[in-house]
Homo-oligomer: A and B are copies of this chain.
Amino acid sequence: MPISLGELATQFGCELIGDPDVLIDKVSSLPNAGPHDLAFLSGAAFKDQLAQTRAGAIILRERDAPDSAVPCLIHEDPYACFARMAAVIHPAPEYAPGVHSSAVVDETASVAKSAHLAACVVVGERSRIGENVYLGPGTVVGPDCVVGDDCRFVANVTLARKVRTGVRGIFHPGVVLGADGFGNAMTPDGWVKVPQLGGVTIGDDVEIGANTTVDCGALDDTIIDDGVRIDNLCMIAHNVHVGAHTAMAAQTAIAGSTVIGKRCMFAGRSGAVGHIRICDDVTVGGQSFLSKDITEPGTYVGSFPAAPGKEWARQLARFRRLGSLAERVRKLEKSGK
Protein backbone atom coordinates (compact mmCIF):
# COMPACT_ATOMS: atom_id res chain seq x y z
CA MET A 1 0.00 0.00 0.00
CA PRO A 2 1.94 3.09 -1.19
CA ILE A 3 1.99 5.92 1.32
CA SER A 4 3.72 9.30 1.25
CA LEU A 5 6.46 10.32 3.67
CA GLY A 6 4.23 13.17 4.78
CA GLU A 7 1.48 10.80 5.76
CA LEU A 8 3.89 8.49 7.58
CA ALA A 9 5.39 11.41 9.51
CA THR A 10 1.95 12.64 10.59
CA GLN A 11 0.54 9.23 11.43
CA PHE A 12 3.51 8.16 13.57
CA GLY A 13 4.57 11.51 15.03
CA CYS A 14 7.97 11.78 13.36
CA GLU A 15 9.79 14.89 12.27
CA LEU A 16 10.35 14.68 8.49
CA ILE A 17 13.50 15.99 6.81
CA GLY A 18 12.90 15.88 3.07
CA ASP A 19 10.11 15.86 0.47
CA PRO A 20 6.74 14.86 2.01
CA ASP A 21 5.44 13.69 -1.39
CA VAL A 22 7.96 10.85 -1.83
CA LEU A 23 5.95 7.65 -2.10
CA ILE A 24 6.99 4.59 -0.13
CA ASP A 25 5.72 1.23 -1.31
CA LYS A 26 7.80 -1.22 0.67
CA VAL A 27 10.29 -1.58 3.48
CA SER A 28 13.81 -2.86 3.01
CA SER A 29 17.22 -3.16 4.64
CA LEU A 30 19.61 -0.21 4.33
CA PRO A 31 21.95 -1.81 1.76
CA ASN A 32 19.14 -3.20 -0.44
CA ALA A 33 16.71 -0.27 -0.27
CA GLY A 34 15.64 1.48 -3.50
CA PRO A 35 14.07 4.92 -4.05
CA HIS A 36 10.58 3.86 -2.90
CA ASP A 37 11.75 1.80 0.05
CA LEU A 38 11.74 2.70 3.71
CA ALA A 39 14.71 1.58 5.80
CA PHE A 40 15.85 2.26 9.35
CA LEU A 41 19.07 2.87 11.24
CA SER A 42 19.12 1.63 14.79
CA GLY A 43 22.45 0.45 16.14
CA ALA A 44 25.71 2.30 15.52
CA ALA A 45 27.04 -0.87 13.85
CA PHE A 46 25.21 -0.10 10.63
CA LYS A 47 25.97 3.61 10.45
CA ASP A 48 28.53 3.03 7.69
CA GLN A 49 25.70 1.97 5.40
CA LEU A 50 24.08 5.40 5.70
CA ALA A 51 26.25 7.11 3.13
CA GLN A 52 25.67 4.53 0.38
CA THR A 53 21.97 3.87 0.80
CA ARG A 54 19.57 4.63 -2.05
CA ALA A 55 16.52 4.33 0.20
CA GLY A 56 13.48 6.55 -0.30
CA ALA A 57 13.69 7.45 3.37
CA ILE A 58 15.33 6.33 6.58
CA ILE A 59 13.95 6.24 10.09
CA LEU A 60 16.68 7.26 12.48
CA ARG A 61 17.51 9.15 15.64
CA GLU A 62 17.94 12.91 15.43
CA ARG A 63 21.68 12.69 16.04
CA ASP A 64 22.15 10.49 12.96
CA ALA A 65 20.15 12.66 10.55
CA PRO A 66 23.04 14.91 9.48
CA ASP A 67 24.84 11.87 8.03
CA SER A 68 21.98 10.92 5.74
CA ALA A 69 21.84 11.92 2.08
CA VAL A 70 18.22 10.80 1.71
CA PRO A 71 14.99 11.91 3.44
CA CYS A 72 14.80 11.18 7.16
CA LEU A 73 11.97 10.32 9.54
CA ILE A 74 13.23 11.24 13.00
CA HIS A 75 12.17 8.96 15.84
CA GLU A 76 13.76 8.16 19.17
CA ASP A 77 13.13 4.44 18.70
CA PRO A 78 13.75 3.78 15.00
CA TYR A 79 13.27 0.00 15.21
CA ALA A 80 9.87 0.14 16.90
CA CYS A 81 8.82 2.95 14.56
CA PHE A 82 9.94 0.87 11.58
CA ALA A 83 7.95 -2.11 12.90
CA ARG A 84 4.78 -0.04 13.14
CA MET A 85 5.23 1.61 9.73
CA ALA A 86 6.02 -1.75 8.11
CA ALA A 87 2.70 -3.09 9.36
CA VAL A 88 0.93 -0.23 7.58
CA ILE A 89 2.92 -0.48 4.35
CA HIS A 90 2.60 -4.28 4.27
CA PRO A 91 -0.75 -5.05 5.87
CA ALA A 92 -1.54 -8.69 6.64
CA PRO A 93 -3.64 -10.18 3.85
CA GLU A 94 -7.37 -9.87 4.37
CA TYR A 95 -9.67 -12.77 3.95
CA ALA A 96 -13.31 -12.63 3.00
CA PRO A 97 -15.58 -13.81 5.80
CA GLY A 98 -16.91 -17.28 5.37
CA VAL A 99 -16.48 -20.98 6.02
CA HIS A 100 -14.85 -23.06 3.29
CA SER A 101 -16.98 -25.88 2.02
CA SER A 102 -14.42 -28.43 3.23
CA ALA A 103 -14.35 -27.04 6.79
CA VAL A 104 -16.27 -29.00 9.41
CA VAL A 105 -17.95 -27.10 12.23
CA ASP A 106 -19.76 -29.02 14.94
CA GLU A 107 -23.40 -28.09 15.26
CA THR A 108 -22.92 -27.05 18.88
CA ALA A 109 -20.06 -24.65 17.96
CA SER A 110 -20.53 -21.00 17.03
CA VAL A 111 -18.53 -19.05 14.48
CA ALA A 112 -18.75 -15.27 14.08
CA LYS A 113 -20.03 -14.13 10.69
CA SER A 114 -16.85 -12.13 10.10
CA ALA A 115 -14.53 -15.09 10.71
CA HIS A 116 -12.72 -16.88 7.89
CA LEU A 117 -12.41 -20.65 8.14
CA ALA A 118 -10.08 -22.02 5.45
CA ALA A 119 -10.04 -25.43 3.82
CA CYS A 120 -9.98 -28.54 6.02
CA VAL A 121 -10.53 -26.59 9.25
CA VAL A 122 -12.33 -28.48 12.02
CA VAL A 123 -14.15 -26.82 14.94
CA GLY A 124 -15.32 -29.07 17.77
CA GLU A 125 -18.17 -29.26 20.21
CA ARG A 126 -19.23 -26.11 22.03
CA SER A 127 -16.30 -24.01 20.78
CA ARG A 128 -16.76 -20.36 19.90
CA ILE A 129 -14.84 -18.49 17.21
CA GLY A 130 -14.76 -14.67 17.53
CA GLU A 131 -15.04 -11.80 15.08
CA ASN A 132 -12.52 -11.51 12.24
CA VAL A 133 -10.72 -14.65 13.32
CA TYR A 134 -8.65 -16.38 10.63
CA LEU A 135 -8.39 -20.14 10.97
CA GLY A 136 -5.87 -21.25 8.35
CA PRO A 137 -5.97 -24.54 6.43
CA GLY A 138 -5.88 -27.70 8.50
CA THR A 139 -6.36 -25.94 11.83
CA VAL A 140 -8.21 -28.02 14.43
CA VAL A 141 -10.09 -26.36 17.26
CA GLY A 142 -11.12 -29.11 19.67
CA PRO A 143 -14.07 -29.01 22.07
CA ASP A 144 -14.81 -26.27 24.59
CA CYS A 145 -12.48 -23.61 23.19
CA VAL A 146 -13.02 -19.87 22.96
CA VAL A 147 -11.05 -17.99 20.30
CA GLY A 148 -10.96 -14.22 20.83
CA ASP A 149 -11.59 -11.64 18.13
CA ASP A 150 -8.98 -10.91 15.48
CA CYS A 151 -6.87 -13.98 16.22
CA ARG A 152 -4.94 -15.54 13.36
CA PHE A 153 -4.06 -19.23 13.19
CA VAL A 154 -1.79 -19.55 10.17
CA ALA A 155 -2.26 -23.23 9.29
CA ASN A 156 -2.26 -26.70 10.87
CA VAL A 157 -2.54 -25.31 14.41
CA THR A 158 -4.16 -27.59 17.00
CA LEU A 159 -6.18 -26.50 20.02
CA ALA A 160 -6.75 -29.80 21.81
CA ARG A 161 -9.50 -28.72 24.21
CA LYS A 162 -10.48 -26.04 26.75
CA VAL A 163 -8.23 -23.37 25.26
CA ARG A 164 -9.34 -19.79 25.68
CA THR A 165 -7.46 -17.05 23.83
CA GLY A 166 -7.62 -13.29 24.13
CA VAL A 167 -7.84 -11.00 21.14
CA ARG A 168 -5.32 -10.33 18.37
CA GLY A 169 -3.30 -13.51 18.99
CA ILE A 170 -1.07 -14.98 16.27
CA PHE A 171 -0.43 -18.70 16.27
CA HIS A 172 1.99 -20.20 13.77
CA PRO A 173 1.82 -23.59 12.06
CA GLY A 174 2.24 -26.67 14.18
CA VAL A 175 1.44 -24.92 17.45
CA VAL A 176 -0.32 -27.26 19.90
CA LEU A 177 -2.32 -25.69 22.72
CA GLY A 178 -4.06 -27.62 25.46
CA ALA A 179 -2.58 -31.08 24.98
CA ASP A 180 -2.44 -33.14 28.17
CA GLY A 181 0.26 -32.22 30.66
CA PHE A 182 2.81 -34.87 31.60
CA GLY A 183 1.19 -36.23 34.75
CA ASN A 184 2.01 -39.77 35.78
CA ALA A 185 1.96 -41.53 39.12
CA MET A 186 4.44 -44.38 39.56
CA THR A 187 3.00 -47.62 40.97
CA PRO A 188 4.39 -51.14 41.28
CA ASP A 189 2.50 -51.95 38.05
CA GLY A 190 3.97 -49.01 36.10
CA TRP A 191 2.79 -45.49 35.43
CA VAL A 192 -0.81 -44.46 36.03
CA LYS A 193 -1.94 -41.50 33.97
CA VAL A 194 -3.11 -38.54 36.05
CA PRO A 195 -6.06 -37.07 34.13
CA GLN A 196 -5.28 -33.56 32.95
CA LEU A 197 -8.47 -31.62 33.51
CA GLY A 198 -7.49 -27.95 33.32
CA GLY A 199 -7.32 -25.79 30.24
CA VAL A 200 -5.12 -23.05 28.79
CA THR A 201 -5.87 -19.34 29.20
CA ILE A 202 -4.07 -16.99 26.85
CA GLY A 203 -4.18 -13.19 27.12
CA ASP A 204 -4.41 -10.53 24.43
CA ASP A 205 -1.73 -9.80 21.82
CA VAL A 206 0.13 -13.05 22.31
CA GLU A 207 2.21 -14.59 19.52
CA ILE A 208 3.32 -18.22 19.59
CA GLY A 209 5.85 -19.69 17.16
CA ALA A 210 5.79 -22.75 14.96
CA ASN A 211 5.64 -26.18 16.63
CA THR A 212 5.57 -24.76 20.16
CA THR A 213 3.45 -26.63 22.69
CA VAL A 214 1.49 -25.22 25.65
CA ASP A 215 -0.03 -28.00 27.75
CA CYS A 216 -3.32 -27.75 29.61
CA GLY A 217 -3.23 -27.55 33.40
CA ALA A 218 -3.69 -30.61 35.58
CA LEU A 219 -6.58 -29.16 37.57
CA ASP A 220 -6.47 -25.39 37.02
CA ASP A 221 -5.36 -23.62 33.82
CA THR A 222 -1.96 -23.01 32.31
CA ILE A 223 -1.77 -19.23 31.85
CA ILE A 224 -0.04 -17.03 29.26
CA ASP A 225 -0.57 -13.36 30.02
CA ASP A 226 -1.04 -10.38 27.69
CA GLY A 227 1.67 -9.48 25.22
CA VAL A 228 3.77 -12.61 25.65
CA ARG A 229 5.96 -13.61 22.70
CA ILE A 230 7.06 -17.24 22.33
CA ASP A 231 9.27 -18.43 19.50
CA ASN A 232 9.36 -21.83 17.77
CA LEU A 233 9.70 -25.26 19.38
CA CYS A 234 9.21 -24.05 22.94
CA MET A 235 7.54 -26.06 25.68
CA ILE A 236 5.25 -24.59 28.31
CA ALA A 237 4.27 -27.37 30.70
CA HIS A 238 1.10 -27.78 32.72
CA ASN A 239 0.17 -25.12 35.25
CA VAL A 240 2.92 -22.75 34.23
CA HIS A 241 2.06 -19.05 34.45
CA VAL A 242 3.96 -16.78 32.05
CA GLY A 243 3.74 -13.09 33.04
CA ALA A 244 2.82 -10.27 30.69
CA HIS A 245 5.26 -9.18 27.96
CA THR A 246 7.70 -11.98 28.69
CA ALA A 247 9.55 -13.22 25.59
CA MET A 248 11.04 -16.65 24.96
CA ALA A 249 13.35 -17.51 22.08
CA ALA A 250 13.34 -20.85 20.30
CA GLN A 251 13.49 -24.15 22.21
CA THR A 252 12.89 -22.54 25.60
CA ALA A 253 11.24 -24.97 28.00
CA ILE A 254 9.44 -24.21 31.26
CA ALA A 255 8.65 -27.20 33.47
CA GLY A 256 5.40 -27.71 35.32
CA SER A 257 3.86 -25.23 37.77
CA THR A 258 6.62 -22.66 37.48
CA VAL A 259 5.47 -19.03 37.73
CA ILE A 260 7.30 -16.48 35.60
CA GLY A 261 7.12 -12.73 36.09
CA LYS A 262 6.54 -9.89 33.69
CA ARG A 263 8.97 -8.70 31.03
CA CYS A 264 11.31 -11.65 31.44
CA MET A 265 13.46 -12.65 28.49
CA PHE A 266 14.54 -16.20 27.82
CA ALA A 267 17.29 -16.65 25.24
CA GLY A 268 17.34 -19.63 22.89
CA ARG A 269 17.22 -23.08 24.47
CA SER A 270 16.93 -21.68 27.98
CA GLY A 271 14.37 -22.59 30.58
CA ALA A 272 13.38 -23.24 34.13
CA VAL A 273 12.78 -26.32 36.25
CA GLY A 274 9.34 -26.95 37.68
CA HIS A 275 7.64 -25.51 40.77
CA ILE A 276 9.74 -22.35 41.10
CA ARG A 277 8.90 -18.64 41.02
CA ILE A 278 10.75 -16.16 38.82
CA CYS A 279 10.33 -12.46 39.56
CA ASP A 280 9.75 -9.75 36.96
CA ASP A 281 12.50 -8.56 34.62
CA VAL A 282 14.69 -11.63 34.66
CA THR A 283 16.84 -12.43 31.62
CA VAL A 284 18.11 -15.96 31.10
CA GLY A 285 21.13 -16.67 28.91
CA GLY A 286 21.15 -19.10 25.99
CA GLN A 287 21.12 -22.78 26.89
CA SER A 288 20.87 -21.86 30.58
CA PHE A 289 18.21 -22.96 33.04
CA LEU A 290 16.95 -21.56 36.29
CA SER A 291 16.90 -24.16 39.05
CA LYS A 292 15.43 -22.26 41.98
CA ASP A 293 13.30 -19.23 42.86
CA ILE A 294 14.64 -15.98 41.47
CA THR A 295 13.79 -12.91 43.52
CA GLU A 296 16.23 -10.40 42.03
CA PRO A 297 15.78 -8.98 38.52
CA GLY A 298 18.84 -9.32 36.33
CA THR A 299 20.63 -11.70 34.03
CA TYR A 300 21.25 -15.36 34.83
CA VAL A 301 23.56 -17.63 32.85
CA GLY A 302 24.88 -21.17 33.10
CA SER A 303 26.28 -22.20 29.74
CA PHE A 304 29.71 -22.70 28.16
CA PRO A 305 30.29 -21.51 24.59
CA ALA A 306 31.98 -24.09 22.39
CA ALA A 307 35.80 -24.06 22.15
CA PRO A 308 38.12 -25.85 19.70
CA GLY A 309 37.75 -29.58 20.32
CA LYS A 310 41.26 -30.33 21.57
CA GLU A 311 41.23 -27.32 23.85
CA TRP A 312 37.86 -28.40 25.23
CA ALA A 313 39.12 -31.96 25.80
CA ARG A 314 42.02 -30.59 27.87
CA GLN A 315 39.65 -28.27 29.72
CA LEU A 316 37.28 -31.14 30.46
CA ALA A 317 40.20 -33.19 31.80
CA ARG A 318 41.28 -30.29 34.03
CA PHE A 319 37.71 -29.90 35.27
CA ARG A 320 37.58 -33.58 36.18
CA ARG A 321 40.84 -33.26 38.10
CA LEU A 322 39.57 -30.34 40.20
CA GLY A 323 39.32 -32.60 43.26
CA SER A 324 42.95 -33.62 43.08
CA LEU A 325 44.03 -30.05 42.37
CA ALA A 326 42.22 -28.91 45.52
CA GLU A 327 43.84 -31.78 47.40
CA ARG A 328 47.29 -30.70 46.22
CA VAL A 329 46.64 -27.14 47.34
CA ARG A 330 45.54 -28.47 50.74
CA LYS A 331 48.82 -30.37 51.05
CA LEU A 332 50.82 -27.30 50.11
CA GLU A 333 48.96 -25.30 52.74
CA LYS A 334 49.72 -27.94 55.37
CA SER A 335 53.36 -28.27 54.42
CA GLY A 336 53.70 -24.50 54.61
CA LYS A 337 52.77 -24.44 58.29
Q: Which residues from chain A sit less than 8 Å from chain B, CB to CB? A: 26-29, 32, 77, 79-80, 82-84, 86-87, 90, 93, 100, 102, 104, 118-120, 122, 124, 136-138, 140, 142-143, 154-156, 158, 160, 170, 172-174, 176, 179-180, 182-187, 190-195, 197, 205, 207, 209-211, 213, 215, 219-220, 226-227, 229, 231-233, 235, 237, 244-245, 247, 249-251, 253, 255, 268-271, 273, 283-292, 296, 298-309, 312-316, 318-323, 325-326, 328-329, 332-333, 335-336
Would you call A315 and B304 a contact (CB within 8 A)? no
**Do A138 and B158 touch across chains, with their CB atoms under 8 A apart?**
yes
Which of B140, B143, B194 is within 8 Å of A86, CB to CB?
B194
The residue that A309 contacts in the complex, of B231, B268, B301, B320, with Cβ under 8 A, is: B301
Q: Are B237 and A235 in contact (CB under 8 A)?
A: no
- Which residue from B84, B179, B287 sits with its C-beta under 8 Å from A172? B179
Question: 8 tightest CB-CB pairs across the interface, nearest first?
Answer: A291-B305, A299-B309, A302-B306, A158-B173, A104-B119, A80-B185, A122-B137, A300-B306
A143 to chain B, nearest CB (A): 7
Given A160-B173, A194-B86, A323:B312 Cβ within 8 A? no
Let me know if B191 and A213 touch, CB within 8 A: no
Chain B residues with CB below 8 A from A315, complex form: 319-320, 322-323
CB-nearest residue of chain B to A287: B289
